[in-house]
């Protein structure tokens, strides 16, 4: 991946991590005008939190120089390794 793209992905990953930290502390995730409050809708908050963790991990992997194909191969390998 291009070095500029890696820097952008790293910055995006840091932004998502900061958003997760803010959501962890406040109990609210904001998304396109909607807010998912931990006290009002805990399942939706938890699912949104998990999705954001996945996004942050993917951005970190891209920033580290992995390609989407390498990430896909790792996920397939890790799913089959438990069998």
Cβ proximity of 68 and 1 under 8 Å: no
Biggest distance spanned by C-alpha atoms of the chain? 43
Is residue 59 exposed (0-12), middle (13-18) or buried (19+ Cβ within 10 Å)? Answer: buried
> Could you tell me the end-to-end alpha-carbon distance of the chain, in angstroms, rounded to an integer?
33
Is the whole-model pTM more than 0.85? no
Half-sphere exposure of 5 (CA within 13 A, CB side): 7
E-assigned strand segments in the chain: 28-31, 34-37
Encoded tokens for 67: 């390609």
| pLDDT in single tens digits along all 83 residues of the chain | 789 999 999 999 999 999 999 999 998 887 677 788 888 889 988 998 999 999 999 999 999 999 888 888 888 888 887 66
């Amino acid at each position: 991946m291009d070095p500029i793209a890696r820097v952008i992905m790293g910055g995006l990953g840091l932004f998502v991590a900061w958003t997760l930290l803010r959501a962890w502390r406040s109990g609210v995730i904001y998304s396109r005008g909607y807010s998912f409050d931990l006290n009002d809708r805990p399942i939706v908050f938890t699912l949104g939190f998990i999705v954001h963790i996945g996004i942050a991990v993917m951005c970190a992997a891209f920033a580290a120089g992995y390609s989407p194909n390498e990430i896909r191969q790792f996920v397939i390998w890790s799913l089959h390794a438990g069998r």
